[in-house]
Amino acid sequence: MVLLAMSYLDDINWDNDGLVPAIAQDKTSGQILMVAWMNREALELTVNENRAIYWSRSRQKLWRKGEESGHTQQLIELRLDCDSDVIMMKVNQIGNIACHTGRTSCFYRVLENGQWKTVDSVVKDPKEIYS
């Protein structure tokens, strides 16, 4: 009898749509850059290509981070949480812009007195990034 090794992909608790949330964290600063979704193929490609590849729920296709903007995420380390249902990636963010708004992080608003206040400035105008 031949036993096949289980794939690391089988250790993930995928949701009903076959997805898992993926958090991208800057390897140096520790800042959370963004949260996106991965399916099995996206995670496998991320590992194989050593760069962040996500599943776009709106476009229903694989999305190589930076394919339009050039702001790619080089994979440094991959972690799985205790419930096996969230991926965290330490990445080297190329170009210091992770958000489509032209900011370093997608988390650029802070709740103050019941209002969301923008606290992080735009690094580059999105009109200059996306054509």
At 17-38, the pLDDT tens digits run 999 999 999 999 999 999 999 9
pLDDT band at 5 (very low <50, low <70, confident <90, very high): low
User: In this predicted model, which residue has the larger pLDDT, 41 or 131?
Assistant: 41
Whether 2 has a pLDDT exceeding 90, the answer reads: no
Whether 45 has a pLDDT exceeding 60, the answer reads: yes
pLDDT band at 85 (very low <50, low <70, confident <90, very high): very high
Domains of the chain: 12-100 (3.10.20.810)
Whether 75 has a pLDDT exceeding 60, the answer reads: yes
Whether 92 has a pLDDT exceeding 80, the answer reads: yes
pLDDT band at 1 (very low <50, low <70, confident <90, very high): low
SS (H, E, C) the chain: CCCCCCCHHHHCCCCCCCCEEEEEEECCCCCEEEEEEECHHHHHHHHHHCECEEEECCCCEEEECCCCCCCCEEEEEEEECCCCCCEEEEEEEHHHCCCCCCCCCCCCEEEECCEEEECCCCCCCHHHHCC
